[in-house]
Amino acid sequence: MSIYDVIFYLFAILTIGSGYLVVTSKNIVHSAFYLLFTLFGVAGLYVLLAADFIAIVQLMVYVGGILILLLFGVMLTNKVTDVKIRTGTIHIIPAVIGTGLLMGVIVSMMLRTNWKSEPGELPFTTTYGLGRILLTDYVLVFELLAMLLLIALIGAASIARRDNE
Amino acid sequence: MYELLKDIFGNDIIAYIIGAALPLFVFILPFALFAVYLERKISAFMQDRLGPMRTGPYGLLQTIADILKLIQKEDITASETDKKFFNLAPYLVFAGSYAAFAAIPFSGMYIGSNVDVGIFFIVAISSLVVAGLLMAGWASNNKYSLLGAMRSAAQIISYEIPTVLIILTIVMVTGTLSLEKISQMQTAYFWNWMIFGGAGWGLTKFLLFPFMVVAFIIFYISSLAEVNRTPFDIPEAESELVAGYHTEYSGMKFAMFFLSEYANMFAVSAIAVTLFLGGYQSPFGYLGNTLGISWLIPIEQLFWFTSKGIFFVTIQMWLRWTLPRLRVDQLMAVCWKYLIPYAFVNLIIVGIITLL
């Protein structure tokens, strides 16, 4: 067993275990904190797949941005922290059908995809390639996303502004 | 580095674990012990006192005695805390600040992980600290802790924006995210440092110089705020919030917060040094090159890196005992109304100069 196997299983257990705890925990703040470990574990798996830039963006956007916002939202909203979430099982038959269908689609996709199983040449860095693609082939999507974020920012500022100013 | 450890221990798993623990025991723990002593001495001299004098010569053993006391202390957990997260939070905070050391180039020979996205990694991993602080504040089930954690998180997130904008200007000039490459670009003498416009003697160097100084000042101010040091230490303002997010912690868990604070102080100084002041490069050329002894160069680099870092840590302490604390609204105003616009303008001007 090499060091990569050890690290892979550590991150896999972290991701799956904390993901399970996110859905089963009764306290909403606990769920949010467990989500931190799930997102961190996914970032670790990206690193093992030689996608360093994606891994860092995962950390930056999800752990540093969305999760912190989520925590702020939950903590600052009055009385949400005391709400007990129901984690019991209801509507067993439709749930089994739904998840069974989803599972079937995922498994069939997994079996049909032509995975690259031979050890290919791993790129040392993905930053240059990503940057080039973003500013050539996907420049329209990139710019549209920037516009969308700018609109969201202006919208948030105008909602938060006081009326008398 | 890892090859050497692998040869010694024969097993790569053990070698990696030891390699990962090395900076902690060789550098951070002794540094924290030394820095706490230094801080107490500096504050004492600035207030015309003597500071710790009793334990050992000039009180040199004072912090070691303090650590021994903290290890022996009872670990108090209040009954209404959220036990699991209360116990986890200090380690999460420390993990966040320790992870940054993985990408810091201490010398040409020793860098934990020479990743190509080094500076981006450091910015991203520090978000674990924010999550840990929120966890500590919330799990303590104490209004002072929660308020301190909220303030701290809001402050760190806000000041991340000017920091990242300044890092972006440096990345635009150097064209790389790798801290190792940024250090190598500033080799030889001090006029090649980024704060003096980088290597080369073109017109751009003289045009860049004033904007690099502005960038350095903005970066230093916002990095002070990111480690919650005075004048930006409202998250743990004693007069308002007892001790902020670590009010409820005692014994070793308190020591973990303390350790991560001092580790963070060195980490931000190290990043400022690497980005602007030549990283591990010597300002006057190397003695090893002059004498023809090649193994001396990495040691010299380590010496220069740590002394530059400790210099900026000392400036942080000096500021702490000189400036009063800002109010919450002033703190946010400094960030959003002054630092971010200036950083943006600086970014645009540096971008235009780089295009020339």
Taking a contact as any Cβ pair under 8 Å apart, which residues of chain B between 156 and 175 contact chain A?
157, 160
Contact with chain B for residue A9, Cβ under 8 A: no
Confidence (pLDDT) at A82: 61
Confidence (pLDDT) at B5: 66
Q: B111 phi and psi, to 5 degrees?
A: -140, 130
Distance from CA of A114 to the nearest CA of B (A): 30
**Nearest by CB: B128 against A1, A63, A124:** A63
**Nearest by CB: B125 against A2, A59, A76:** A59
Contact with chain A for residue B143, Cβ under 8 A: no
Contact with chain B for residue A124, Cβ under 8 A: yes
Type of residue numbered B30: P
Residue A150 has pLDDT above 90, yes or no: yes
| pLDDT band per the 50, 70, 90 thresholds, residue A120 | low
Listed in sequence order, the residues at least 6 apart from A27 whose beta carbon sits closer than 8 Å to its beta carbon are A81, A84, A85
Radius of gyration of chain B (CA): 21
From B83, which residue of chain A is nearest by alpha-carbon distance?
A30
Contact with chain B for residue A39, Cβ under 8 A: no
Spatial distance between the Cα atoms of B208 and B174, rounded to a whole number of angstroms: 12
| pLDDT band per the 50, 70, 90 thresholds, residue A107 | very high
Confidence (pLDDT) at A152: 92
**Per the CB < 8 Å rule, is B85 touching A75?**
no
Can you tell me the mean pLDDT for A144-164? 86
Say whether B56 sits in a helix, a strand or coil. coil
Confidence (pLDDT) at A101: 94
Confidence (pLDDT) at A163: 67
Type of residue numbered A19: G
Q: Are A33 and B84 in contact (CB under 8 A)?
A: no
Can you tell me the mean pLDDT for A130-137? 86
Contact with chain B for residue A35, Cβ under 8 A: no
Spatial distance between the Cα atoms of B36 and B32, rounded to a whole number of angstroms: 6
Residue B176 has pLDDT above 60, yes or no: yes
**Per the CB < 8 Å rule, is A72 touching B150?**
yes
Spatial distance between the Cα atoms of A38 and A33, rounded to a whole number of angstroms: 9
Spatial distance between the Cα atoms of B307 and A133, rounded to a whole number of angstroms: 42
DSSP 8-state code for residue B101: G
- Has this prediction a pTM greater than 0.90? no
Higher pLDDT, B246 or A83: B246
Distance from CA of B48 to the nearest CA of A (A): 43
The percent of residues in chain B predicted with pLDDT above 70, rounded, is: 93
Confidence (pLDDT) at A84: 65
Instruction: Return the ∠ at Cα B127 (arms to B121 and B129), rounded to 5°.
Output: 115
Can you tell me the mean pLDDT for A114-127? 69
Q: Chain-wide mean pLDDT for chain A?
A: 83
- Read off the tokens for B198: 């980088």
Spatial distance between the Cα atoms of B139 and B86, rounded to a whole number of angstroms: 5
Spatial distance between the Cα atoms of B196 and B203, rounded to a whole number of angstroms: 12
Domain range annotation of chain B: 1-72, 78-355
Distance from CA of B312 to the nearest CA of A (A): 27
Spatial distance between the Cα atoms of B57 and B137, rounded to a whole number of angstroms: 39
Measured between beta carbons, the chain B residues lying within 8 angstroms of A63 are: 124, 127-128, 131
This model of the complex carries an ipTM of 0.78
**Nearest by CB: A59 against B12, B124, B150:** B124
User: How many other C-beta atoms can be found within 10 angstroms of the C-beta atom of residue B10?
Assistant: 9
- DSSP per-residue codes, B279-332: TT--TB--HHHHHT-TTHHHHHHHHHHHHHHHHHHHHHHHHHTTSPPPPHHHHH
Helix pair A28-48, B127-139: axis angle to 10 deg = 160
Domain range annotation of chain A: 1-87
Spatial distance between the Cα atoms of B151 and B265, rounded to a whole number of angstroms: 19
Confidence (pLDDT) at A104: 94
Smallest Cα–Cα separation from B276: which of B158, B353, B346, B185? Answer: B185
Distance from CA of B174 to the nearest CA of A (A): 14
**Per the CB < 8 Å rule, is A6 touching B134?**
no
Contact with chain A for residue B117, Cβ under 8 A: yes
Spatial distance between the Cα atoms of A144 and B269, rounded to a whole number of angstroms: 37
Distance from CA of B121 to the nearest CA of A (A): 6
**Span B4-23, pLDDT tens digits:** 666 666 666 777 777 777 77
CATH T-level topology, domain A1-87: Four Helix Bundle (Hemerythrin (Met), subunit A) (1.20.120)
**Per the CB < 8 Å rule, is B120 touching A56?**
yes
- Backbone conformation region of residue A79, classed left if phi is above 0, alpha if psi is from -120 to 50, else beta: left
Can you tell me the mean pLDDT for B58-75? 82
Which of B134, B155, B178, B336 is the best residue to mutate to test the A interface, defined by the most A CB atoms within 10 Å of its own CB? B134
**Per the CB < 8 Å rule, is B117 touching A125?**
yes
**Nearest by CB: B127 against A63, A75, A125:** A63
**Nearest by CB: B116 against A64, A65, A127:** A127
Count Cβ–Cβ pairs < 8 Å, chain A vs chain B: 67
**Span A41-69, pLDDT tens digits:** 998 888 888 788 888 888 888 888 888 88
Higher pLDDT, A139 or B281: A139
Contact with chain A for residue B177, Cβ under 8 A: yes
Higher pLDDT, A58 or A120: A58
Confidence (pLDDT) at A147: 94
Residue B31 has pLDDT above 70, yes or no: yes
| pLDDT band per the 50, 70, 90 thresholds, residue A1 | low
- Read off the tokens for B175: 């064209």
DSSP 8-state code for residue B255: H
Contact with chain A for residue B349, Cβ under 8 A: no
- DSSP per-residue codes, A57-82: HHIIIIIIIIIHHHHHHHHHSTTTTT
Q: Chain-wide mean pLDDT for chain B?
A: 81
Spatial distance between the Cα atoms of B199 and B208, rounded to a whole number of angstroms: 11
Bridge partners of residue A42, in order along the sequence: none
Measured between beta carbons, the chain B residues lying within 8 angstroms of A76 are: 150
**Per the CB < 8 Å rule, is B130 touching A64?**
yes
Q: A27 phi and psi, to 5 degrees?
A: -105, 130
Say whether B189 sits in a helix, a strand or coil. strand
Contact with chain B for residue A36, Cβ under 8 A: yes
Smallest Cα–Cα separation from B149: which of B139, B137, B132, B131? Answer: B137
| pLDDT band per the 50, 70, 90 thresholds, residue A102 | very high
Contact with chain B for residue A68, Cβ under 8 A: yes
CA torsion sign, B100 to B169 to B152 to A78? negative
